[in-house]
Amino acid sequence: MRLRLPITHLDPVRRNQGRPGGTSAGRRWWRAVVVPLLLAAILPPAAPAGEIRYERDIAPILRTYCAGCHNDTDREGELSVETFASLRQGGETKGDPIKPGRAEDSFLIRSLEGRARPTMPPKDEPRVPAAELALLKRWIAEGARGPARDESILQTLVVPEVPPTGSVRPAFTAAALSPDGQQLALASHRRVEIRDAAGLRVRHALEGLPGKVNAVHFSPDGRALVTAGGIPGLRGVAQLWELKSGRLVRQFEGHRDVLYDAEFSPDGRLLATAGYDRAIRLWQAADGQPLRTIEVHNGAVFDLAFSPDGAVLASASADQTVKLWRVADGVRLDTLNQPQGELFKVAFTPDARYILAAGADRRLHLWRFVSREKPELNPVVMSCFAHETAITTFALTRDGRHLLTSALDRTLKVWSLPDLVERHAFAVQPDVASALVAGPRPDRFLAARMDGSLERYKLRVEAPRTAGRPAIPTAPGSPASTNVLELTEAEPNDALAEARLVTWPAQIAGVIGRPGDCDVYRFRARAGEALTLAINAARAGSKLDSRIEVLHLDGRPVEQVVLQAVRNSWFTFRGKDSDTSDDFRLHNWTEMELDEYLYANGEVVRLWLYPRGPDSGFKVYPGAGRRHTWFGTTAVTHALNEPCYIVTPLPPGTQPVPNGLPVFRLNYENDDDPTRRWGADSLLLFTAPADGEYLARVTDVRGFGGETNFHYTLSLRDRRPDFTVTIEGTHPKVSPGSGREIKFTAARLEGFDGPIRIEVTHLPPGFTLGGPVEIEAGQMSALAVLRAATNATPPDAAASRAVKVTASAIVRGRPVVHELGSLGEIKLAAPPKVTLEILPGNDPSVARATPGQPLELFIRPGRSITARVRATRHDFQGRIEMGNEDSGRNLPHGLYVDNIGLNGLLIVEGQEEREFFITAAPMARPGRRLFHLRTTADDGQASAPVWINVLPGEPQGMIRAAARN
């Protein structure tokens, strides 16, 4: 019989426990449960008579019950039983535990029988069986003869050969292609085949390797091959072979457990090895001399990778991290700790720009490679779910443009790099592809499987099967009609077949007359027509908590959007009520990006601002006040530890490629107005997917009803996107030579999401308001500074009334202008007690000062720049506070002041200047905008605005701001 074993690094026992690489509890479990069972199955019974041999009869007992804690590495009580000599040397106080010829007086026997302390084995582990204890006594009584050759009992293991029955192919465990593309190495248990890469003909084989071969790699010159393997729990060994002759050149030993990888440096001068004992060792490849050992990981090290220049070594571990090491001296450069499961594979992209890793959490992780020479943060670029089970291995094509991945569920996929977009999913494999080999041509690769089969593939690249955020469609045709048909509900209209045909635009007066009642209306729409279905009930004093939905004529819901989860998370620290837009504490938040959609228990929100320090969470849109929802969903309460997901919206009807996370299909339905302006009243924005008739159904979300107090009005009309703007800070009092802040806040109506331009004209002499002022697309407010010149004179009432404020935007392709009135009475205040000025930072390349013009700063997405703020203290000596996460006033969306600390941006007593950082998130859009600083001192004095220019950067999603990590 031939045993079929799982891939080693996914074995549930080997993954977290065992000797000596796991925890002490794991070692005890291994010795107490697994080792006795294995040894009972494979070792012969104790010799009942005749000569007792130490190697055959005594060493297995010591190895099973003693060596886990008493070995040359651990030496509990300074005792090691690893060799016969170390056993006889004894421990720290008892000396030789054996008295030849006097078994009952030997400390070893007394301890095992509980007659001496410390008692062995410990109480939580099984006792030595009576038969084996009797064998130990007999051996000591007969003189305790040692072995003919004293070797470590942890370096040898006698395992009987079990011949296979039938025709069984050996499982392929690793594979590699020579640099010239001519030879293929295929590894299995104790054997490596060297094959012709073109015809897969076996040229010769390397036999008799110690155990399963977990990794195989050609030297850079193609003349040698290194294999990594060993015997689990005993030793790890890397072997260097001469390819031409098949001769074993040398062995690299020293690991106390099986090896999972052995990698040549790009120049072939060094060899790095690592495995289950958590140690990384560097060797000189030419003579096998050890250079250094690195022991920092808290779990098995499954894979190693050198950077293309050989200066940095990456290690992927069961402790859920990738660590980067400087090869020259072993200094740790960074720990990449975002994954949430064991990592089985790590690689640098050929252009050395990125680091890739994958493993048990089913994700592909991508970091930008920064720490090339000194310790630095390597920012997260992306983390995406790739398979529904653990990713066992991957391979990069030689041109670095595509990635091949294999998972335990036998799936095989192709991804584009560096954007990690799935390009093709091959048919499910006959077995797990344990090794993927990219061919010398970028469109060819080979899969070697656990069932011993091989298959060549041609790289297939298809268009991405995901889509970005869908645009809100607008209704075609002319502006909204004013001819509204006024109707009254007529019962019966509960059943779908009873629905009355309504011609829109219409207003229908109805009532939910009894508990469980529903009213159904039928209407026609053409494909692409954008309609609004609005309920007025709670606002009119009704007790109705309305719910409205659109159905097909057969009662099926009309699908609005498909949301594919791409990252999972949960609420930490505390849950959330149904109103708050601040402090969304989410697990693994560093993998999330602004403007991404977050799905939780049926509610969809969008991320607006990153957590600002350790005791904070995300802000979601609109950034203040009651939070908004998307896709007609309703804000609900969320419990601590409740799951949530970052989701990507896809068009209705999409069948997303499975990635191991849920898919949520949202229909056209609404409980509460998503912008929260209408309280419990419903607002549903419907876009007809096709020509035809549809049903609108109105109910009470609780199932309540009543003839006199559950009335409503349903408006059914074409969509009317629009906006309103309110002004905060009217009737300003401005000090000479200083400024006061004016805030413009928009309410966006029925899906309007575009930019809104604010113009302030006819200001009194000596007063200016920097512009242009714009409420950005999708945002709710903009800030401006009204400044008074040092020689300004108080304006009269007529001058204040002459000021004109307008808000304009392009809505459905047409300009829309709203008059906002004036700024109220403008007054000249007393001289300022403190004034602020924004100055360039220490990098002149990101600033430009032009006499007579505002300072200009320049930044790219994903980067940080420095600037300074200088305070002139006229009559104020106290602390000058400038806010916390809102300290950068009117910065473009995605930009924020980044070094606020726990107390915010401030200048302490006795100081006049402070450096601060501005960081741009990766999603920041190119553009130009005025921003300023404001102090709460002296009733809110504001600095003169300066320009911040967001320059084009790398593609969105390809970088993440380092400050967030």
Residue 372: both structure tokens together: 């090339």
3-state secondary structure of 539: helix
pTM to 2 decimals? 0.70
Residues 170, 263: Cα–Cα separation, whole Å: 24
Contacts of 199 (CB under 8 A, 6+ apart): none
**Cα separation, 628 vs 639, whole angstroms:** 19
Q: Please tell me the predicted confidence (pLDDT) of residue 44.
A: 44
- Cα–Cα distance list, 252 to 64, 175, 237 (Å): 26, 20, 6
Of residues 477 and 664, the one with the higher pLDDT is: 664
Task: List pLDDT tens digits, range 187-197.
Answer: 999 999 999 99
Q: State the pLDDT at residue 144.
A: 87
DSSP 57: I
Quickly tell me which residue has 């032009």 as its tokens: 850
DSSP 342-407: -EEEEEE-TTSSEEEEEETT-EEEEEE---SSS-----EEEEEE--SS-EEEEEE-TTSSEEEEEE
pLDDT tens-digit profile of 436-446? 999 888 888 99
- How far apart, in Å, do the first and last CA atoms of the chain sit? 52
The pLDDT of residue 39 is above 60? no
Tell which residue, 460, 446, 379, has the closest CA to residue 414: 460
CB atoms within 10 A of CB 913: 11
Q: What is the mean pLDDT of residues 461-484?
A: 39
Determine phi and psi for 577, rounding to 5 degrees.
-80, -175
Residue 162 host element (H or E)? none
What is the mean predicted confidence (pLDDT) over 222-238?
92
Q: Work out the percent of the chain whose per-residue pLDDT is above 70.
A: 89
Cβ partners under 8 Å of residue 214, min gap 6? 8, 173, 174, 187, 228, 229, 258, 259, 260, 261, 275
Tell me the per-residue pLDDT of 536-565, one tens digit each, with 9 for 90 and over: 999 888 999 999 999 999 999 999 999 999
At 111-129, the pLDDT tens digits run 888 888 888 888 767 788 9
Please tell me the distance from the alpha carbon of residue 281 to that of residue 550, in angstroms, as a whole number. 65
Those residues with Cβ within 8 angstroms of residue 785's Cβ, 6 or more apart along the chain or in another chain:
739, 740, 741, 742, 769, 770, 932, 942, 943, 944, 945
What angle (nearest 5°) sits at the alpha carbon of residue 458, between those of residues 457 and 463? 120
Whether residue 880 contacts residue 907, with contact meaning beta carbons closer than 8 Å, is answered with yes
- The amino acid occupying position 910 is G
| Burial class for 691, CB neighbours closer than 10 Å (0-12, 13-18, 19+) | exposed
CA 684/CA 673 separation, integer angstroms: 8
Tokens encoding 285: 């490849």
Q: What is the mean pLDDT of residues 322-327?
A: 96
Q: Is 84 within 8 Å of 150 (Cβ atoms)?
A: yes
- For residues 578 and 634, what is the distance between their CA atoms, to the nearest angstrom? 9
CA distance 561 to 583: 27
55-59, 237-241, 397-401, range with greatest mean pLDDT: 237-241
For the record, the structure tokens of 839 come out as: 């100055």
Q: Do 385 and 567 form a contact (C-beta atoms < 8 A)?
A: yes
**Rounded-to-integer distance, Cα 217 and Cα 239, Å:** 11
Quick: pLDDT tens for 65-98: 887 788 777 778 888 888 888 888 888 766 888 9
Name residues whose C-beta falls within 8 Å of residue 184's C-beta, 6 or more positions apart in sequence: 175, 176, 177, 178, 194, 195, 196, 197, 200, 437, 446
Q: How far, in Å, CA of 578 to CA of 696, rounded?
A: 26
Find all residues with CB under 8 Å of 965, minimum gap 6, and list them: 377, 379, 380, 590
pLDDT digits (tens, 9 = 90+) for 137-172: 899 988 989 888 887 776 655 555 566 555 568 899
**Alpha-carbon distance 367 to 346, whole Å?**
11
pLDDT of residue 490: 67
- Whether the Cβ atoms of residue 634 and residue 649 lie closer than 8 Å to each other: no
Task: Count CA within 13 A, CB hemisphere, residue 59.
Answer: 24
Identify the burial level of 207 via C-beta atoms within 10 angstroms of its C-beta, where 0-12 means exposed, 13-18 middle and 19 or more buried. Answer: exposed
Tokens encoding 518 = 């529903």
pLDDT band at 27 (very low <50, low <70, confident <90, very high): very low
CB atoms within 10 A of CB 827: 13
pLDDT digits (tens, 9 = 90+) for 663-703: 999 999 999 999 988 888 999 999 999 999 999 999 999 99
pLDDT for residue 614: 74
The pLDDT of 779-785, averaged and rounded, is 96
Nearest 5°: the CA angle 489, 494, 499 is 65
The rounded distance, in Å, linking the Cα atoms of 133 and 374 is: 57
Strand 946-950 versus strand 354-359 pairing type? unpaired
649 pLDDT above the threshold of 90: yes
**HEC letters along 201-266:** CEEEEEEEEEEECCEEEECCCCCEEEEEEEECCCEEEEEEEECCCCEEEEEEEEECCCEEEEEECC
Write a three-state SS string for 413-441: EEEECCCCEEEEECCCCCCCEEEEEECCC
More confident of the two residues 619 and 15:
619
Q: Residue 150, exposed/middle/buried by CB under 10 A (0-12, 13-18, 19+)?
A: middle
Would you state the structure tokens that stand for residue 703, as one six-digit string? 């199932």
**Residue 40: Cβ within 10 Å count:** 11
What's the pLDDT tens digit per position in 526-542? 999 999 999 999 988 89
**8 A C-beta contact, residue 929 and residue 890:** yes
Tell me which residue of 915, 895, 739 sits closest to 839, measured CA to CA: 915
User: What is the pLDDT of the chain when averaged over all its residues?
Assistant: 87
